[in-house]
Amino acid sequence: MTRATPDAAPRGEQDGAGRPPAWEFDAEVWLHVPRGADPGGTESHKEGHPDEPAEPAPGSWCFCTLPAEVGEEVALLSGPRRGFGSVRVAVEVGGSAWATSVFPGSEGYVLPLKAAVRRAEGLTPGDVARVRLRLAG
């Protein structure tokens, strides 16, 4: 689930310094548990909940979904896609910054959140992260 805030609308345009397009938005952290990674072996995806463990089980990943309007602009402005339709981006969450890719999914582009970033920023599934995302260029 993603929440875009009115004061953080997409800015899919270069800034005055000629840097690639950038956006800032709030997005909920959610947990993806691949089939076979959970004890029952049937879970393929579940939303974040406050009662989930702080550290996901091995083989699971945490993501944020980009707001639809941001995803549309990323798709329009990113040019040729890489493997799995991925788009290279630079990301900041709190005081953490890293380079990664966003990937197209059934509900829009998803941003993987590394365990080191989640720990550094105190994020667990169900939390809302303030994300600053820029196309890598």
CA atoms within 13 A on the CB side of 29: 28
In this structure, CATH architecture of domain 2-135: Beta Barrel (2.40)
Q: Where are the domains of the chain?
A: 2-135
- With a pLDDT cut of 90, the percent of the chain lying above it is 55
131 and 120 in contact (C-beta within 8 Å)? no
34-77 tens-digit pLDDT: 766 555 544 444 445 445 555 567 767 899 999 999 999 999 99
> Is the backbone of residue 85 left (phi > 0), alpha (psi -120 to 50) or beta?
left
Phi then psi for residue 65, to 5 deg, are -95, 130
88-136 tens-digit pLDDT: 999 999 999 999 999 999 999 999 999 999 999 999 999 999 999 999 9
User: pTM here?
Assistant: 0.74
Helices and strands per DSSP (H, E), number in the chain: 2, 7
- Structure confidence at residue 43 (pLDDT): 47
